[in-house]
Chains A and B, each alone.
Chain A
Amino acid sequence: MPFLQLNQVAFTYAGKTSPALSGINLSLEKDDITAMVGPNGSGKTTLTKLMIGVLQPTAGSIYLEQRPLAQYSLAEIGRRIGYVFQNPSLQLFCPTVAEEISFGLTNQGCDPTVVEERVGFYLNYFELTAYRNAFPLYLSHGEKQRLAIAAVLANEPEFLILDEPTIGLDAYRKRLLEEYLQKVASLGRGMLLVSHDIAFVNRMAKRVITMGDGRIQSDSGWRGNAAYDA
């Protein structure tokens, strides 16, 4: 049973005549790492926004575990799918770095000891401990990126969608992120990585989807499958 399923999905932005996406048929499994690549403007980010319900398709249907996505609230989707925006500044809204990580946990009624423990862990893992009380928007792009990822991971969602997660990260921190994502994947949590970083994609993903002109141009299938090997 696919975790996310898109059937003949199309999307046109308001006021535009040509569609940003059309004829998208796609199934994503819960425990696999899939990457989506393609040139700028090919519809990758629009497609991820449709998958988390921020945008509604103009045609076709999207299912989250066989239930129409439109029947879920954003919060329900957010609890199951962690989404890291392409621009991390758009998802940072707390007065301090520590509160940014603890926000979801605290508001979902998590035990304060667990919250503190998890905040400490993510601050340490993503090397943000020194900025614990800093205002998030004062951080550099790379630091904001790490914070946005940490804040989403702290919620422990079942599936992750990361839009350009390696932008602004140096080689060392990219490796740290890779290691962490591999660890997350080994726990049975799947993810969709949207990236231009081919080396990162090749190291991480088992399946690569190529977008172009608002359509899926190619889908490698799973590594080891005939489709992938072809």
Chain B
Amino acid sequence: MMLDPRTKMVMVICLTSLALVYNRPAQLLLLFAVTVVLLALFHFRISAIWGYLKPFLSLMLFLFVIQSIFSPGNEVLLAIGSVPLITTEGLIMGASVVLRITVVIAAAMLLTTFSSRDFVLGLVQWRVPYELAFMVSIALRFLPIFKDELINVVTAVQLRGIELKKIPWGQKLAMYRRLALPIVYGAMLKAQQLAIAMEARGFRAYPRRTYLRRLQFYWADYVVMVIFLTGTIILMIQPFI
């Protein structure tokens, strides 16, 4: 299915807005199913979703436990003395938080179905200043680079004979703390070099930019955008009617 990148950006905004508004696991599960179908329609490898979600699993588990324990509820499932620990409402709230994060991450994957160049072009044609649009695209591009850098450092540490899985947690944390500073500093150094390289190639040298390619809306884009925007507004205001 071929759609303009801006249409996909609208879809992401709609899906994430609904994910933030919805509170019930069933609603969020349905929203996730819709997102997966959309990803499949845009030829995104469904099995890759797990790879994107995996790094967030510990955060999700943490939030699930916290929400389950600290959300108030009447139907007590587990209590310590007279203090209720886990309630049905707490579990529902915990599941909702996990599903909400899942939907937001899955929806963001729609942004990977087009190039970062199209992303900038789309924002610029929406009258977002070029510098700002470019900055956003660079930030998005830097994230996987930063991840690769972390993987490289962890690999390099192990190749120096350090058994990261076997050292005690305290020692491990101390090591990661020591490694964090050079990694962040290295990323800043890269950003600085990138800025110099960009200026050397005439970034912001002239007030007017020209583009080789322009994005074009087709009727399918208008139809999809109208459906998504109207649907989202209706679903959001429905509980108040």
User: At the interface with chain B, which of A103-111, A166-174, A180-188, A206-214?
Assistant: A103-111
**Which B residues lie at the A interface, using CB under 8 A?**
152-153, 155-165, 175, 178-179, 181-183, 185-186, 189
User: At the interface with chain B, which of A3-11, A29-37, A39-47, A76-84?
Assistant: A76-84
Q: CA–CA, A92 to B186, complex, Å?
A: 10
**Which chain A residues border B185 with CB–CB below 8 Å?**
135, 137
The total of chain A residues at the interface (CB under 8 A) is 29
Given contacts A93-B183, A137-B186, 13 further A-B contacts (CB under 8 A): A52-B159, A54-B159, A75-B161, A79-B161, A83-B159, A91-B156, A94-B178, A94-B182, A95-B182, A108-B161, A135-B182, A151-B160, A152-B160
How many A-B pairs fall under 8 Å by CB? 67
Can you list 5 residue pairs at the A/B interface with Cβ under 8 Å? A75-B161, A78-B161, A89-B186, A91-B156, A155-B160
**Which chain B residues border A130 with CB–CB below 8 Å?**
none
Tell yes or no: A74 within 8 A of B by CB.
Answer: yes
**Which chain A residues border B179 with CB–CB below 8 Å?**
93
Once A91-B156, A93-B153, A137-B189 are accepted as A-B contacts, the answer to whether A107 and B182 lie under 8 Å apart by CB is no
Question: Closest chain B residue to A90 by CB distance?
Answer: B152
Nearest chain B CB to A29 CB, angstrom units:
22
Interface string of A136-152 (1 = CB under 8 A from B): 11100000000000011
Tell yes or no: A18 within 8 A of B by CB.
Answer: no
- The reply to whether A74 and B159 form a contact with Cβ atoms under 8 Å apart is yes
Residue from B162, B181, B189 whose CB has the most chain A CB atoms within 10 Å: B162
Q: Which secondary structure characterizes the binding site on chain A? A: helix
Pick from B155, B160, B163, B165: contact of A103, CB below 8 A. Answer: B160
**Which chain A residues border B165 with CB–CB below 8 Å?**
73
**Which chain A residues border B175 with CB–CB below 8 Å?**
107
Nearest chain A CB to B50 CB, angstrom units:
14
**Which chain B residues border A85 with CB–CB below 8 Å?**
156
**Which chain A residues border B158 with CB–CB below 8 Å?**
73-75, 78
Nearest chain A CB to B233 CB, angstrom units:
39
Question: Closest chain A residue to B186 by CB distance?
Answer: A137
